[in-house]
Amino acid sequence: MIEEYGVVESVTDDGTTVRITMPAACDQCTIRESCHAAGKTITVPAVYDLAQAQPVRLMIRHASVLQATLVMYGIPFMALLAGLFGSYFSLFAQHAEETRILLSFAVGAVALLASGFLVARLDRRLERRFRYVLEPVAEIPRA
């Protein structure tokens, strides 16, 4: 499981809202200025019996991360390959070589862009199914 630490902001009927705190490991990270994980607010759909400002450990199952990775990278990659090779070998097979390459590149780029809309739609659906587990802790550990 992937673990983050945070503080409970609110508990409502919609779920438990947690603000992720900046872990001590962020001090040594080279991309800490452009990272958006710290300070991000996440709403866990489950309602936990937690108090406001209570420190918690937010755990994310590896299967959820792998599923999201497959959607975010796999679908666009497959759309690009299908657009490139599908159009090169079938749609533009009768054209000259240079034309086939340019046209198949254009179809691949359009397929890649179109897959972005599909991924955005699936992302909203996956976000609701992301498997979070909250566990109260006494305090947020420092590296």
Residue 48, domain CATH: 2.40.50
Answer yes or no: are the C-beta atoms of 29 and 73 closer than 8 Å.
no
| 69 lies in the same domain as 54 | no
Assigned domain for 141 exists = no
How many structural domains comprise the chain? 2
Do the domain assignments include residue 143?
Answer: no
Whether 55 and 8 map to the same domain: the answer is yes
Task: State how far the Cα of 119 lies from the Cα of 117, in Å rounded to an integer.
Answer: 5
- Per-residue pLDDT of 50-96, as tens digits, reads 888 888 888 877 777 787 788 889 999 999 999 999 999 998 989 99
CA 88/CA 66 separation, integer angstroms: 31
Between 132 and 30, residue with greater pLDDT: 132
Q: Alpha carbon of 109 to those of 47, 86, 94, 117: distances in Å?
A: 43, 13, 21, 13
**72 and 39 together in one domain:** no
Query: How many residues can be counted in the chain?
Result: 143
Long-range interactions of 137-140: CB distance < 8 A, separation 24+: 137/5, 137/55, 137/56, 137/57, 138/55, 139/55, 140/5, 140/6, 140/7, 140/21, 140/55
Residue 25 confidence (pLDDT): 58
On average, the pLDDT of the chain sits at 81
103 pLDDT tier (thresholds 50, 70, 90): very high
Together in a domain, 70 and 50: no
pLDDT of residue 35: 59
24: pLDDT strictly greater than 60: no
Three-state SS at 95: coil
User: Distances from the Cα of 113 to the Cαs of 10, 32, 105, 122, in angstroms?
Assistant: 38, 30, 12, 15
Residue 110 within a domain: yes
One domain, residues 46 and 11: yes
Q: At a CB cut-off of 8 Å and minimum separation 6, what does 30 contact? A: none
28 and 6 in a common domain: yes
Give me the pLDDT at residue 21, please: 81
pLDDT band at 3 (very low <50, low <70, confident <90, very high): confident
Query: Domain range for residue 49?
Result: 2-61+131-136
Q: How many H helices and E strands in the chain?
A: 3, 5
Mean predicted confidence (pLDDT) in 111-134: 80
* pLDDT confidence bin for 143, thresholds 50/70/90: low
Residue 32 in any domain: the answer is: yes
Rounded Cα–Cα distance for residues 123 and 143 (Å): 32
Residues 47 and 80 in one domain: no
Same domain, 70 and 96: yes
Position 22 pLDDT exceeds 80: no
Whole-number pLDDT of residue 100: 93
Residues 55 and 76 in one domain: no
Say whether pTM exceeds 0.85. Answer: no
